Amino acid sequence: MTDTVTKAVRSRIMAAVRGKDTGPEMVVRRMVHGMGYRYRLHVRSLPGKPDLVFPRLRKIILVNGCFWHLHSCNRGGRRPQSHAAYWNAKLNRNRERDRLHRAALRRLGWKVLVVWECQTAAAKMGRLQSRLLRFLR
């Protein structure tokens, strides 16, 4: 199956996919900041440049997009139909890289919490806040 848009349009679409300051990440950052916690962002010296780092607590929060990191929800379970081999390999590499980064962080003595994009929906804010509070205590 061929792509339905031109190469230039596809390039613009893919360039718009953000790695930092995403909507779900901003939801978590605002919530944690509102709870009184302060953090560092995307620390380059740590494996995978984690999203939120709490150095004093030795804790890290990773905010993952469901599609890009193969979450088990509806959005994460969908795979592109065109160029399936490429996408399967790419998404599986993402998942494996995530696993390796989490393991490396734990070996370095960090506690890691993964927050999924679907967990940042407005209807789930109370559950997310209590989960973050439990983790950060």
In this structure, what token pair is assigned to residue 109? 């003595």
**Whole-angstrom distance, CA of residue 137 vs CA of residue 134:** 6
Residue 6 lies in a domain: no
Residue 19 is predicted with a pLDDT of 75
Residue 1 is predicted with a pLDDT of 52
Residue 72 is predicted with a pLDDT of 92
Angle at 93 between CA 88 and CA 99, to 5 degrees: 130
Residue 33 is predicted with a pLDDT of 98
Residue 3 lies in a domain: no
DSSP state of 6: -
What is the chain's pLDDT, residue by residue, as a tens digit (137 residues)? Answer: 567 888 888 788 777 777 788 999 999 999 999 999 999 999 999 999 999 999 999 999 999 999 999 999 988 888 888 888 989 999 999 999 999 999 999 999 999 999 999 999 999 999 999 999 999 99
Q: Which domain holds residue 45?
A: 17-136
CB-hemisphere CA count at 13 Å for 58? 7
Residue 9 lies in a domain: no
Residue 20 is predicted with a pLDDT of 83
Residue 38 lies in a domain: yes
Residue 4 is predicted with a pLDDT of 80
CATH of the domain at 57: 3.40.960.10
Residue 136 is predicted with a pLDDT of 98
Residue 10 lies in a domain: no
**Whole-angstrom distance, CA of residue 126 vs CA of residue 134:** 12
Residue 3 is predicted with a pLDDT of 73
Residue 2 is predicted with a pLDDT of 65
Residue 78 is predicted with a pLDDT of 85
